[in-house]
A and B are shown apart, each in its own frame.
Chain A
Amino acid sequence: MEVVAINQISPDQVIFFIWHFVTINATLVYTWAIMAILVIGSIAITRNLSPERAMTRWQNLMEVIVGTIRSEIRDIVREGEDSYFVFIGTLFLFILLSNLLSFVPGYVAPTSSLTTTAALSMLVFFAVPIYGITKQGIIEYLKEYFRPNFIFFPFHVMGELSRTLALAVRLFGNMMSHEKVIAILLAVTPLLFPVVMQVLGLLIGLIQAYIFVVLAMVYIASATQTHEDAEHKAKFHQTASETQQT
């Protein structure tokens, strides 16, 4: 069953229900489905957690997921991963689940619509100044835009905008292109080859979710840590020169 026809570019154009100005399209429905799966699943798993070694297999799964995400964040920011964990982990789980469910028949990944990915990258766009201001204060954060001198201000602003656009279009393009390739292959070689492409699609979905999250984490880390690193480096140079003098 093909939900999105070959001549439609995004699941926004598949409309399930329309009432006056309220339009329910496929993107909304599948986004709600993923949200429901995530929320109900996490509530059901965390209802009976046990600190013992004997735990349910669902708790084991959740510990693996949470531990992996935390260690990946720690690899990038080196310290204080707890404050980023909620945002980054939520993004990762949402994108991962919406990409991986694409082997279910009748399902269209909401990330193959530009509206969803634009919303996700807008979240990152706003999370960068929020984390930056809470970590180092508004003055220090705004000073980053004028580093190394004030000529670079427009380039910093352009960089912020273009990387947000790139983040959205990258995820959208990968997921959408994968669906289109499968649809075209179904018309050309119907039986076996689309299955192989579906398996490849699982890998692509996983890598794209990982890359979206890693890039978001790198952007946030660059807003929160540049000054600390510069200070650290200056202190290191100072001590190095002091030791040289002595």
Chain B
Amino acid sequence: MDSVSIVAMASIITAGICMGIGAIGPALGQGRSVQGALSSIAQQPDERNSLTRTLFVGLAMIESIAIYCFVISMILVFANPFWAYVIKKAGG
């Protein structure tokens, strides 16, 4: 196997693993925060507006962890910085 296909295989597999493992933690966190917010809304329906606003901000901050993983896997697949180096080595 030449070096180009090794880099391609490594980056694609790593992108999948990165996204898969990186989605576990935010999923658990979002589930817990929605659970907490729902039970709070059930207890105090009057505070629904501020609870919902805080919930959305918190959800976006939790979700951004998964988004970082997604950005890294997108960079690995579409804009891999090692491609130029390897292709230059292989071509030259």
Contact = CB atoms under 8 A, between A and B. Distances in A.
Nearest to A172: B71
Given A8-B78, A176-B74, A169 B67 contact: yes
A211 B59 CA distance: 10
Interface in B34-92: 50, 53, 56-57, 60-61, 63-64, 67-68, 70-71, 74-75, 78-79
Interface in B3-24: none
A48 interface: no
Nearest to A7: B78
Contacts of B64: 166, 169-170, 173
A173 B68 CA distance: 7
A7 B74 CA distance: 10
Interface residues of A, number: 19
A169 B78 CA distance: 17
Overall SS of chain A's interface: helix
B56 A211 contact: yes
A170 B60 contact: yes
Contacts of B53: 214
Contact of B74 (A180, A208, A211): A180
Contacts, number: 40
Interface in A193-238: 207-208, 210-211, 214-215
A239 interface: no
Contacts of B60: 170, 207-208, 211
A174 B57 contact: no
B79 A174 contact: no
A171 to B, nearest CB: 9
A210 B60 CA distance: 10
A8 B57 CA distance: 30
Contacts of B61: 211
Nearest to B67: A173
A208 B56 CA distance: 10
Interface string A1-43: 0000001110000000000000000000000000000000000
Contacts of B78: 7-9
26 contacts: A7-B78, A8-B78, A9-B74, A9-B75, A9-B79, A75-B50, A166-B64, A169-B67, A169-B68, A169-B71, A170-B67, A172-B71, A173-B64, A173-B67, A173-B68, A173-B71, A174-B63, A177-B67, A177-B74, A207-B56, A207-B60, A210-B56, A211-B56, A211-B57, A214-B53, A215-B57
Interface of A: 7-9, 75, 166, 169-170, 172-174, 176-177, 180, 207-208, 210-211, 214-215
